Amino acid sequence: MNVAIIPARGGSKRIPRKNIQLFHNKPIIAYSIEVALNSGCFDRVIVSTDDAEIAAVAISYGAEVPFIRPDNIADDFATTIAVMQHAIAKLALPEESNICCLYATAPFISVEQITAGLVLLADEELDYVFSAVEFSFPIQRAFRIIENGRVEMLHPELFNTRSQDLEQTFHDAGQFYWGSHTAFVSGRSFFSKHSKPIVLPLSQVQDIDTPEDWKRAELMYKINQEMKLF
């Protein structure tokens, strides 16, 4: 059994009602639900929420909301793993299940990326397959601001190293995590030698935590649509 679980709590602070705010005239959660349904990868598409309005929106776009998430895993400190473990237990998913945590604010996600994640997870018997993106600037050139507003490099020994000679580095794109039942229930880390990334283009990744992030994401989405990048 393959199941998508979309976490979507109601109490977002920096962007109120973020998970159902209109993004190009459609609730942003609808993009994740529709991609999950259109991918053909899933037997069930579930939204885990503590909020009745989010539940109603999710159902209207074709997702299931078979339970209401309890308050103790719906606050600012709730972890993705805890939310996933709760959903897996409530749904009584069998141990052979493949489960995809798909974030509600991922309007750039595509059917192809979801499908590629499932194929990789199954073919290589990994704990997780997740979305990732390369850092847009070499992190080896990072510096910190110290006392009196002055600066120091984190890796001064690499100051004169050519950019092309520096190791490529990546970070979590925050869009999806395919995982085995065992990995989620055991609480294994997403980032280990038992995981592999699906590397996404920088033009299709935008973390959405602030109103500024939201505006940038809408502009990026418009450009992607105009250029037919997805």
* Confidence (pLDDT) at 230: 66
Rounded Cα distance, 69 and 47, in Å: 10
Please indicate, yes or no, whether the overall pTM of this predicted structure exceeds 0.75. yes
Residue pair 198/116 in contact by the 8 Å Cβ criterion:
yes
Please report, for the chain, the start and end positions of each structural domain, with discontinuous segments joined by +. 2-132+170-226
Rounded Cα distance, 59 and 204, in Å: 27
* Confidence (pLDDT) at 50: 97
Please check whether the domain covering 2-132+170-226 is classified as CATH 3.90.550.10.
yes
Question: pLDDT truncated to tens, each residue of the chain (230 aa)?
Answer: 999 999 999 988 889 999 999 999 999 999 999 999 999 999 999 999 999 999 999 999 999 999 999 999 999 899 999 999 999 999 999 999 999 999 999 999 999 999 999 999 999 989 999 999 999 999 999 999 999 999 999 999 999 999 999 999 999 999 999 999 999 999 999 999 999 999 999 999 999 999 999 999 999 999 998 887 76
* Confidence (pLDDT) at 192: 96
Rounded Cα distance, 52 and 171, in Å: 33
Label residues 138-160 b or e (16+ Cβ within 10 Å = b).
bebeeeeeeeeeeeeeeeeeeee
